[in-house]
Every structure is written in structure tokens, then in C-alpha cells.
Amino acid sequence: MTSNTDPFVHVINHPLVQHKLTLMRRKDASTNSFRTLLNELAMLMAYEVTRDMPTQDIEIDTPLETMTAKVIDGKKLVLVSILRAGTGILDGMLSVVPGARVGHIGLYRDPKTLQAVEYYFKMPKDMQERDVVVVDPMLATGNSAIAAIGRIKVLNPKSIKFVCLLTCPEGVAALRRVHPDVAIFTAAIDRQLNDHGYILPGLGDAGDRIFGTQ
């Protein structure tokens, strides 16, 4: 695993995150346990990604007295899932921030060129008022993330962050080169990309492992 000193790249090395990631990597993890672990991991990662979310003060009554307390406006947050594997992270994050809006981008990797090809794009209204978190379990070549973020930038949101479970030095470098303003949150930076665009040692095809389609 590669270490990292780039302040825009956040490797979440909390023991719970690392433990669950190890269980997911094992080739004998069942589809059910892979999906459950991804959900739990996404909840833990949501905690880090939303750390700087703005709060506002409201007046509430406790059973004993009135006080000023903080709340977040979850509706200002848009979670954008890159289909289809992004769904696995989206579900876990939504259970922590249920008020978030959701956008979807359908992209598939052309198996020959490894380039991202778009087939679906649907975002909430008023994107210029919202903070965006783009989710996709694997940042490999970076092509999908780069294309998705490029499309979202046209809508001029307040901020964009990118969350993945796993990445590699090639993926980080590609995304940082094209979108240097977008912070990356990941559970690990693995050794390298192979010739087929898979991360090594990695965890295989995340979509197949989430949906049991291998």
C-alpha cells in the first residue's frame, strides 16, 4: 500500500475501515457479506467526508430547558453515484445523511480503450447551491471519475469531493491532474493498475462482487 502526503488525498486509515476493507478483499467473501461490508464502510467514510459540512444553530426544547443546538442541512448535499458500482457506497452514505439529494451518472468502461462512455445523466435542480460528493468504489484509470466530475462541473456546484473504497497511484495522479480542486477520500491506495485497468492487489470487479454477477 502506498503512503500519501497530498493534502487533497485523504486515506481513511481508521482501524474499523481497514478491518472491513480486508474482509472485502478476500476472494471467498460472499456477495451478501461484500455488500454488507461496503454499506458499513460507506457509513464510516461518510463521517469523514462530511466533517466540514456547514451547520446552523436552531432553538430546541430539551425535557429540562431551551437551548441553541446545531443541525446540518442534508438537502444541500448531493450524493452522485457512478452507475452501477457507486450504488453500493450510495446506500451506506444515505443511511447517515438521509436528507441528501441523489444524482446518477451512467458510465461504462469500453473494454478496449478503457475510456468512459456515458449512457445516463440525472441531477437534482439548483446544483449551484449544493455541495457534491461523487461516489464510485474503485478509482482505477480515473477515466470514469474524470468524465463524471467534468459533467458535474458544468452545473457549477459549490464544491465537489470524490469518495472511493480503493485507488492506486495511477488513478490518483490522473484525477488530480484533470481536477486538482477535487479532494479524494479513499480507504487505501493500492500498489498499481494492471494492463486491463484493474487495481492490484485490489478486490476484483466491485460491481460484480456487489451484485453477484461474476
**Cis peptide bond upstream of 137, omega within 30:** no
Q: How far is the CB of 196 from ligand URA (least distance, A)?
A: 9
For residues 90 and 137, the answer to whether their CB atoms sit within 8 Å is no
Q: Which of 2, 55, 113, 213 is catalytic?
A: 113
Q: Which residues from 183-202 bind ligand URA, rule CB under 6 A?
A: 197-199, 202
Regarding 138 and contact with ligand URA (CB under 6 A), the answer is yes
As given in the structure block, the three cell numbers for residue 207 are 460491481
User: Of 21 and 199, which has the nearer Cβ to ligand URA?
Assistant: 199
Q: How many CB atoms lie within 10 A of CB 81?
A: 24
| 53/74 Cα distance (integer angstroms) | 9
Residue placing its CB nearer to ligand URA in the complex, 45 or 165: 165
Q: Which is nearer to ligand URA, 157 or 207 (CB)?
A: 207
Check if 109 is active-site: yes
Position 170 contacts ligand URA (CB under 6 A): no
Give the nearer residue to ligand URA in terms of CB position, either 24 or 97: 24
Asked if the peptide bond before residue 124 counts as cis, ω within 30 degrees of 0, the response is: no
Looking up cell 439548483, which residue turns up?
Answer: 126
Q: How many CA atoms lie within 13 A of 101 on its CB side?
A: 16
Among 83, 140, 146, 164, binds ligand URA (CB under 6 A): 140
| 205: annotated active-site residue | yes
In angstroms, how far is CA 119 from the centroid of its own chain? 20
Rounded to a whole number of angstroms, the minimum distance from the CB of residue 201 to ligand URA is 10
Least distance CB 209 / ligand URA (angstroms): 8
108 interacts with ligand URA by CB under 6 A: no
Q: What three-state secondary structure class fits 119?
A: strand
* Residue from 22, 36, 109, 176 carrying the catalytic annotation: 109
The C-alpha cell of 70 is what? 446545531
By DSSP bridging, strand 192-193 and strand 199-200 are antiparallel
Closest approach, Cβ 202 to ligand URA, in A, equals: 4
Binding site for ligand URA (CB under 6 A): 138, 140, 197-199, 202, 205-207
